[in-house]
Each structure stands twice: as C-alpha cells, then as structure tokens.
Structure 1
C-alpha cells in the first residue's frame, strides 16, 4: 500500500504519493449522497411528484422547475459551507428563491412547510446504487463508517431506510460536530471514531473538493468515485467509476 501526502498552496490542494511501505489499510469511510445513495435520482423523481401535486399553477414547466431547484440548492449550500447560513435555513431560502423565480412570493413559514412537503416525496425515492451492497459485503471484515454534510436526523434516516445503519461503526454528520467537509476536522473525527489513523484509512466520495481533496488534506487515502464520467485531475491518484472497482484499488 502507499501513503498519501496532502498539502495546500494558495488555496489549491494537491496530492502526491510517497514510496510504498508496509502499512496496511484497515478502515474504510464513505460519503453518503451520490456515493451510496442515489440522491440525484431521488431528488428528480421527488420534484416531479411535488410539481404535479403542488406546483402545476406556477408560471413554469416541470423541467424548468427542477433546474431552478438544483441551481438554488447549489447556491445556498455554498452559503452553508461558508458559514453564512444554517443548514436548516437553506431549505426555506431555497423554496423562496425557486418560487420567486416563478413570480410567487412565499412567507418563511410557507417556504418551510413546502420544503417539508417536498421532503416527504424525497424520502419515498431513497435507494442505494446497485453496486453498494456487493461492495460492502466484500469489505465486511473491515471497520467502516460514513461522513456526510447535512442534517443529522435526515442522513441517519436515509441509512436506516436503505438498510445500511448496522453496516457502519461510525456515522459522522457535519451537523453533529459543527464542521462540514472539506474541513480536515470532520475526517479526523471519523478516523478517531473508528480507532484507526488517517494513513490507514481510505475515503470514498463523489465530490472532488469536499471528499477527495478534503480527505487528502486530513492525511487519508482518497478514492474519487466518478459515477457519471467526470474528468479526473492529474493530481488524483486513485479514481473509480463504480464501487465494483473498489476492491481492485485498495
């Protein structure tokens, strides 16, 4: 196995390998959304149901509504990541922004109510990617855990609903510890929870900056999961397109 070194120069992370040594990886950590659970598909199906039941009178069509929702989500999640707003507030802000784009003004209470209505649709469509269970079964003798940004109760509910709760020894959610990925603190916290060290732990995720560069900066061994064929930067040494490939690279 090889160890990883991470560094930061002018806010740009880079990753490089040391010479091989005898260290054996003995733990595995995963991201949740986009890595284990198909968030994009669940969101799209939920928004179609939500639009049909609650938004047909809006001055837009369903696909435009979905696009507005995604853009607003990225915008306000960025504000959450920078500490400008709380995770719970971005939900109402997202609804207000989307409906405002459709010429509808929502009060804060109405925005919160509509988002919770959307969540009820979203939960119905939670599902694992097909490669998740076969991958986890191969790794069953290895200590495993997850790290996720977001609402603790929702993320834990996802794991329970998809049958993953009992498969992980550590479930680390940003809301619980007060710092999101890519901060190295959340990765170190998870490694400590597993009782291992960063150099002995892989982290698998689909977000280049939050997951790959974040875990590398914490001294871990990142694996970039490119489910949709995203380009792989030259500084990323290990990438896969499916969890079926994971056992071949660790």
Structure 2
C-alpha cells in the first residue's frame, strides 16, 4: 500500500483508547478528549492510522454491533466522507471485526501487520500483540479467539450475555490482555523492538510503528530504522505524526 503525502499534509497514528473501560461512563471523558484530537487532526490529515484497541471490547454479530461509541463512529464517518484516509488495525481487545467498519464507514480493517510506503519511506505497522518472543499463553489463546468455530459459537449466545462475559474477561483475564504490564523493560528487553530487529534481517524498513504496550517509546533498531510505540489514551494521551520532517511522538494537550 502506497500513500503519497502532499506538501502541508500529515499522517497521524493513534492506539489503545480502550473506550468502554472500565465502564462506559468512566471512559466518556477520554472519548471526548480523543474527539478533540480527531478534530485537530482533520485540519491537515492525509491519513489516520488507528493502531488497535480503540474499544475495550468489540464483537460483530450478524445484525448487531456493541452499543455506544456513536460520537467516535460519527466523527470517523464524517472524516471519511471528507476524503481523509483512515486505516484500522485490530488489537487484542477489538479483534472481532467482520465487515462493519468497511461497509458502514469505508475504513479498511487489517488483522495482521502490514507494510505501507509513505512517499519513499517503508512503514511496518501493526497493533503489536502476539509478536516477538514470549507471551506464549496469549499467542495460543489468540489462535482460539481468531478461529471461525469460536466466533460462530460465541455468536449463538444472546448479545447481552456475550457482552457481559466478554467485558469481564477483557478486564480480568491476562490471556486476553497479554503478559504486558506497561512497564518499560529496557531497550534490550522490549520484545517488539526485538521483533523489529529480526524483521530487519530479511528486509529494510524505515519505521516500525506499534501500539499495545501503552508506553510511548522510541528505540533505534537499525542504522536507519526506528521502532516507535504510540502509547495510549489512558495515561499518556500520546500519538504519532509523520510529515516531510519525519516521524515524532507528541502528547495531546487536553482542552
């Protein structure tokens, strides 16, 4: 996938909003801040990458999607209608997407990492869950959750029951959240940085951009390659932005 960046335009990256956590009421102030950020970005955005876990839980039944989030969904729909490109990478909390974003909002959804070329720079993009060494329990559970049989089985339950179970599991079950405890492990031990270094053994990428760790970080992984973690909208309110001057992490100044 190639994006040509016109002069004066920018590419924005956001991750880990976890809307709905720990409750809909408690997450609403964070959603309002995120909406302010979207309004800021729409002024000069060529494209926006949502890097996963926008929702703390999401499951698409055949004719039903989760209640709530109408302000966010409406804003994204407005921006797409204006011609702003928006791309969505599923995270470990909202991996059960099955066509709603594409059909209703016109937003492509990716379930695996993908390479984008922006002007002459190669970006390796993904949420980050299940990549790199370790976290084997989550990797096994992810295969189950992504399986067609599990999704078919879950869909047969009443949505009210399914949502309550899933929301409880989303908060309480470390196999869903992964072994990540949101503490910086040091450059040599950050497993997404290790994953990036391994990918560089077979191909060159200028930027690796992930979410999932909930920590804004910048790690040089090659002579001309950098790993960025976007951070989150729970503790850090950070985002990534790329323009003709390169990539940088910014903190959104809440209004």
> Same fold judged by TM-score > 0.5?
no
**Which of the two has greater strand per residue?**
2
